[in-house]
Structure 1
């Protein structure tokens, strides 16, 4: 018998530094794809502006809202 340690094969679910980096890149890609599908940052700002406009018009008295 030899005194050198035997190299065990790496399991499929063992987290190595390279696998951790790949997981991080995958998560960043998913976040980017999801953000793009949802319309991005500009869409969120447009929705906020529309909400604020709707709230301010609903708070106005009825006589001002129906004026031509």
Structure 2
């Protein structure tokens, strides 16, 4: 193994990892979009629940971090 070969291999690994990370991010983005649609209803329910139980808003901010009212 020469230094150049090792360097090339490490470059390939970096490229591969970057590619995988990009793919994962895209998948996560799609999942979040789907999640957002399905949580719209539960956000409403949680909001009403919040008003019926009078829990502090922080409680809901912690338990439903991705929901925006």
Give the TM-score taking structure 2 as reference length.
0.43
**RCO greater where, 1 or 2, for CA within 8 Å and sep 6 or more?**
2
- Structure with bigger gyration radius: 1
> Between Structure 1 and Structure 2, which shows a larger proportion of helix residues?
2
